[in-house]
Structure 1
Amino acid sequence: MAAVLDRPASTLSIRRLQPNIGAEIAGVDLTQPLSQADRDAIWQALLDHHVIFFRDQFLDRDQHLAFARAFGDPVVDAKTVGTHAEIQPVRSGIGGDYVRAAWHADATYRDNPFFASILLAHEVPPLGGDTLFSSAKAAYDGLEPELRQRIEGLHAVHTGEGKANALFKTDAERDAYLDKFSGAVHPVVIRHPHSGEKLLYVSNGFAKRFVEIEGPEADALLADLKYRFTYPEYQVRFQWQPGSIAFWDNRAVQHHGVGDYGDHYRYFERIVLAGPPPAA
């Protein structure tokens, strides 16, 4: 984790966007090293609101990495940008990897998924292409008491076929990725390592089946749990602009890119951070 500067705090302000999730942070220049006070305020906002947003932050790649390292250790993922191995390109639309993705938390098909993602917008369509974020805490809290009791102690198998299909053009690349990252088993209910909050952890795009139970009833239960993330009450919607940043806690949030921008194109760069594996 990178050091932060011992200098006065900025005029940082935090504005909640929805009751259950999301806040926008203003009054801080992320092209500059963070003060300790600003770093701590941003970290607490992430814990409190699960996804935080910044506007008009035109970071170069070294600045993007410096900001990320104030909060954790970047992970090298499948595709990288130039000489910056810790930065991944995210292209969608014409010539991109995909137009929209199902609800998911990033890389839950890994034994140790990313703890957080930091996504910086470079090119966005003139209209559309928003991203929805949904709270895993609100999804868990909204479960009926008997359903909470029923799923305690269950585990789900997460596989990465959809991600591999989007990332790679050849069967050899796809199969090599799946051999390395697929078939991870995670608790259905996890506890946040910092806040202690209980979170529903069934990544819609990747969780395929339960370990302990099977059959049509188990499939219906898993589908019901995934569906909870689509409730509007649990969500915040972010409209991208060039220089916008979304920083989300990947354990506490699922996200969904809205594919409503037709022939236009989006280009982002993403850094993901390492953290402890999800635990019950």
Structure 2
Amino acid sequence: MTTSLAYEIRRAGPRIGAEITGLDLNRDIDEATAEQLRKDFRDYKVLVFRGQHLTPDRHVAAVSIFGQPFDHPTAIKDPSNPLVYPYRVEQSGKASHWHIGGLWRTPPFQIESLVYHEVAELGGHTLWADLQAAYDDLSEPFRQLLASVTAVYDANPEHYAQGSKKGAVARTVEHPVVLEHPDTGRKGLFLSTGALRLAGVSEAESAALLPYLLRHASSPNYTIRFGWNPGDFVLWDNLATWHYAIDDYGDGPRAYQKVIAAHPETPPRVGSTG
């Protein structure tokens, strides 16, 4: 356990993830503490703050320490703050697959965050995997090949809305399979199970490479796991990790509020015609 300014860090694993204790995000944070939190976020990529019980306004303020909150065009908005998106799995469905948020957008949002309101008594943990560590373990010839490969995704944000049923893919967007992080410059894999195909290689090569990369990036060697209680606040680097909400809690409750943040220096680009 490491003491850092006004709080302590308890690491969740050797690669990524940490719990922050001794800090109340319902209070204003001084700039020195905020700067240290940003450094810890760059280092650990997933930060958990237990028992914060943040209101929508406080949730937005907490995420603003790390990035610029993003106004999602299709998400259902909290009536008290339009940058907060309430979710209840009974209506929105479960995200029980490895994924990265915001792939309809270029660039995708950099940060995702949740405050939990209701959770099942047992189960309902969330996994994150370190996509940068997964990249590091690839051979150099394979890294060179992937440097010119992109993954193709559905570019319609309405297909990513709560409870939506995806229709035909009318336009697509491409993201590099190897992403250089805008804050750290570190390279990592960048792909999701929603990828339609790989571009820059043949159809047959895509059919062979994509499943391999998805399996490799989700290896237990790169993952951490957190369970939840009401009031817990978590945020993660959406450009360096992907996540999986385990569906092992049956019809138990799961309700939370979400705030996302985009990198402020890079404007979005429109997807291409599919």
Alignment TM class, shorter chain as reference? 0.7 to 0.9
Does the Cα contact within 8 Å between 1:107 and 1:160 map onto a contact in 2?
no
Distance in 2 (alpha carbons) for counterparts of 1:46 and 1:10: 15
Distance in 2 (alpha carbons) for counterparts of 1:162 and 1:75: 14
Counterpart among 250, 264, 269 of residue 262 in structure 1: 250
Distance in 2 (alpha carbons) for counterparts of 1:108 and 1:70: 23
From the superposition, tell whether residues 143 and 277 of structure 1 become closer, same or farther in structure 2 (CA, over 3 Å): farther
Note the aligned Cα RMSD (angstroms).
Answer: 2.3
Q: Name the residue aligned to 1:235.
A: 223
Shift of 1:41: 1.5
Q: Name the residue aligned to 2:56.
A: 61
The answer to whether residue 211 in structure 2 is matched with residue 223 in structure 1 is: yes
Specify the SS of the correspondent of 2:86.
strand
Distance in 2 (alpha carbons) for counterparts of 1:244 and 1:237: 14
Distance in 1 (alpha carbons) for counterparts of 2:45 and 2:119: 23
Counterpart among 1, 13, 17 of residue 18 in structure 1: 13
Distance in 1 (alpha carbons) for counterparts of 2:158 and 2:37: 30
Give the 4+ runs in structure 1 shifted more than 3 A.
160-163
Equivalenced residue count is 261
Distance in 1 (alpha carbons) for counterparts of 2:119 and 2:66: 26
* TM-score relative to the length of structure 1: 0.86
Distance in 1 (alpha carbons) for counterparts of 2:155 and 2:211: 18
Specify the SS of the correspondent of 1:225.
helix
The answer to whether residue 191 in structure 2 is matched with residue 202 in structure 1 is: yes
Distance in 2 (alpha carbons) for counterparts of 1:25 and 1:147: 37
Q: Name the residue aligned to 1:192.
A: 181
Counterpart among 245, 250, 275 of residue 233 in structure 2: 245
Distance in 1 (alpha carbons) for counterparts of 2:57 and 2:120: 25
Name the stretch that deviates more: 9-18 or 39-48: 9-18
The answer to whether residue 36 in structure 2 is matched with residue 41 in structure 1 is: yes
**1:2-57 residue CA offsets vs partner (Å, 9 max, x unmatched):** xxxxxxx9621112111111111111100001111221121111100111111010
Shift of 1:165: 6.7
Matching residue's letter, 1:110: R
The answer to whether residue 36 in structure 2 is matched with residue 73 in structure 1 is: no
Does the Cα contact within 8 Å between 2:104 and 2:157 map onto a contact in 1?
no
Q: Name the residue aligned to 2:271.
A: none
Matching residue's letter, 1:88: Y
Shift of 1:145: 2.2
Counterpart among 95, 119, 122 of residue 124 in structure 1: 119
* TM-score relative to the length of structure 2: 0.88
**1:186-221 residue CA offsets vs partner (Å, 9 max, x unmatched):** 1110111111110101122x2221221232222110
